[in-house]
Structure 1
């Protein structure tokens, strides 16, 4: 099996350290979309938060309702600036003694610094656990069944609450995480059910053992994972966000923001924008014609309309069915049928 690493193709990428593909990216995409494949995401940063006050402490610092987070639960959280802009996004996995926060490669240092600054006299002991834990992902419609068969963990479907409408009644949002991902321990780590499949938080010292149990699962590279993520319109910190992004612009409200909890940094902006119902920008899936160029546009490429910039490209990929597509953050007033230009490629907003 040919293994091509990200750094062999994109040496400046934030995703260096994991395979881009194993020789056939399109076949790998199809596997993730129709069956199940194993993706190496071990370059993700991981922060461990043990301590008896971890749930209430994280509840006060982040956008998610975590005060009653229990063993066997996972969710998502954001850290916002005082003005409500997204600074950090992390997945949460609670095992009964520690809340494990995994985030984008390179983002862990900022998250760890913030948590350490806010520790004060709270009974928590955050630490950088990237050297302890590797993240792998079983992706596809057969992911949960594969985890049950090979790792012995039964995991319920993810549950994500709908975002309440503007001016919703106080108390109408349940006092629990807005996204709930079941977590189960297995020999060598933790399994977390997520929208794309099952994430595995594996003890690095047990990585070979776990990979051995999963030896029959087809491998897929990060390129295939990203293509599936883009098609599902799932945002990624640092790709579909910039220094001005608020959660509503990147479709992060539903999985990561509890709109009816107590105060947290940036909450006033979130509440004001939600009750007005008019976020300045929105996340869209774009179809690119690929005629002028067969190379997906780079992250940050401007989206143009009638000669003016109306947004930017986050992640652009070649999808095995959809062709060249990209996630873009666009100004709210861009019409759904607008004729857009991305570099040399004509672009259209996905009708679905």
Structure 2
């Protein structure tokens, strides 16, 4: 369903039914970074869990410690499969009565169905309320204020504060702490009744509220090294994306996939690692997510996100082999599009320089020495 904010002047629709931009993507990005614009995220989904056991139940199933989350608090957690691979990323708000799960649109129905099957004797109720509630986004630096008032059906504002700005209690950061760009990514998401979106569009038309497109938020997210579920595939584990930083509590106890999380973190190394790519912009083409990352003629990974940043230029996130030389020159094939935006048969190689996020040495934090194989000769 198309968003009412797509009726605004200059709106260019994206594939999800919200605006990619409103005619000035660079200016929108700067306004968003300064906390002076909102982003329409109404294409995303919302799942609710009610009942007195809701927080302890979610805590027992997912990667973050949320059993004692206070009313008005927010958190991020991951649902893993039994082998520790990523299945769902979940942004949580609890208002003292209901836990609200903010997720990507495609996640809402399967996530609600899975949680509903796991209720057993727990005093909880699960519902997919995506049709009734819409998500809006904003960046909230210290000198900025919320531009739209979030709903508060139970007396607490439905406001999610992105924990990516700092390492959470019980979490772990593999990226170098010095110069980490997350400190400037003070993102929030808020919920409003979907029925209020037409009135919000009128506020934008009148100049009361400024709006930025989804491409602006994507560029700032990539520059902050902030993972989303679209950066993962069916083999991804949280360590590869440095997601232990905000969404995993390493000492909270058992949950699905916990054995893999602990084993890789303490004893092993993640088989792949996240890097940021600085892409050559001279050809004026931007490689698309899913494109191969090449070292010479050898595929060493996949581009998972790409964007044009107002200061850094063309950038992307990629997941590459752990063994890849951190200084290796890379290329990413990009499809050339015509004036109407349709892909052509022309493909050009775009040079890429990697900036390490997850280093090849990530993991093995327990420092257990390797035991020589039986019969091995010591030298």
In structure 2, the partner of 1:132 is: 132
In structure 2, the partner of 1:336 is: 326
Q: Is the 8 A contact 2:77 2:89 kept in 1?
A: yes
Q: Is the 8 A contact 1:318 1:324 kept in 2?
A: yes
1:3 aligns with 2:11: yes
Q: Tell me by how many angstroms 1:329 deviates.
A: 0.7
In structure 2, the partner of 1:88 is: 88
SS at match of 1:350: strand
Distance 2:112 2:285 in 1: 36
Bigger Rg over Cα = 2
Distance 2:172 2:104 in 1: 28
* Residues 174-196 of structure 1: CA deviation (Å, up to 9, x unaligned): xxxxxxxxxxxxxxxxxxxx943
Aligned partner of 2:241 among 238, 242, 250: 250
Aligned partner of 2:274 among 283, 304, 309: 283
Distance 1:333 1:316 in 2: 23
- Worse-matched range after superposition: 121-130 or 214-223: 214-223
Distance 2:61 2:122 in 1: 12
In structure 2, the partner of 1:74 is: 74
Q: Is the 8 A contact 1:37 1:140 kept in 2?
A: no
In structure 2, the partner of 1:199 is: 189
Q: Tell me by how many angstroms 1:338 deviates.
A: 1.1
SS at match of 1:60: helix
Relative to structure 1, is the Cα distance of residues 265 and 150 closer, same or farther in structure 2, using a 3 angstrom cutoff?
closer
Q: TM-score, normalised by structure 2?
A: 0.76
Matches within 5 A, 1:182-221: 195-208=185-198, 216-221=208-213
Relative to structure 1, is the Cα distance of residues 333 and 59 closer, same or farther in structure 2, using a 3 angstrom cutoff?
same
1:347 aligns with 2:338: no
Q: Tell me by how many angstroms 1:350 deviates.
A: 2.5
Q: Tell me by how many angstroms 1:150 deviates.
A: 6.3
Q: Is the 8 A contact 2:93 2:160 kept in 1?
A: no
1:259 aligns with 2:253: no
Structure 1 runs not aligned, ≥5 long: 8-15, 167-193
SS at match of 1:107: helix
What's the C-alpha RMSD, in Å, of the aligned pairs?
Answer: 2.6
1:232 aligns with 2:240: no
Aligned partner of 2:260 among 269, 272, 276: 269
* Residues 45-91 of structure 1: CA deviation (Å, up to 9, x unaligned): 11011111100110111111111122111000100011100000010
* Residues 266-298 of structure 1: CA deviation (Å, up to 9, x unaligned): 11110000002521111111011133x422212
In structure 1, the partner of 2:367 is: none
Distance 2:198 2:315 in 1: 35
Q: Is the 8 A contact 2:74 2:94 kept in 1?
A: yes
Q: Is the 8 A contact 2:35 2:144 kept in 1?
A: no
SS at match of 1:145: coil
Q: Is the 8 A contact 2:304 2:318 kept in 1?
A: yes
Matches within 5 A, 1:125-204: 125-141=125-141, 145-147=144-146, 151=149, 160-161=167-168, 163-164=171-172, 195-204=185-194
In structure 2, the partner of 1:223 is: 215
Relative to structure 1, is the Cα distance of residues 218 and 277 closer, same or farther in structure 2, using a 3 angstrom cutoff?
farther
Q: Tell me by how many angstroms 1:211 deviates.
A: 6.0
1:63 aligns with 2:63: yes
In structure 1, the partner of 2:33 is: 33
In structure 2, the partner of 1:98 is: 98
Relative to structure 1, is the Cα distance of residues 207 and 145 closer, same or farther in structure 2, using a 3 angstrom cutoff?
same
Distance 2:167 2:191 in 1: 21
Relative to structure 1, is the Cα distance of residues 124 and 212 closer, same or farther in structure 2, using a 3 angstrom cutoff?
farther
Distance 1:140 1:53 in 2: 32
Q: Tell me by how many angstroms 1:304 deviates.
A: 0.9
Structure 2 runs not aligned, ≥5 long: 1-8, 151-156, 175-183, 334-348, 358-379
Relative to structure 1, is the Cα distance of residues 116 and 242 closer, same or farther in structure 2, using a 3 angstrom cutoff?
same
Q: TM-score, normalised by structure 1?
A: 0.82
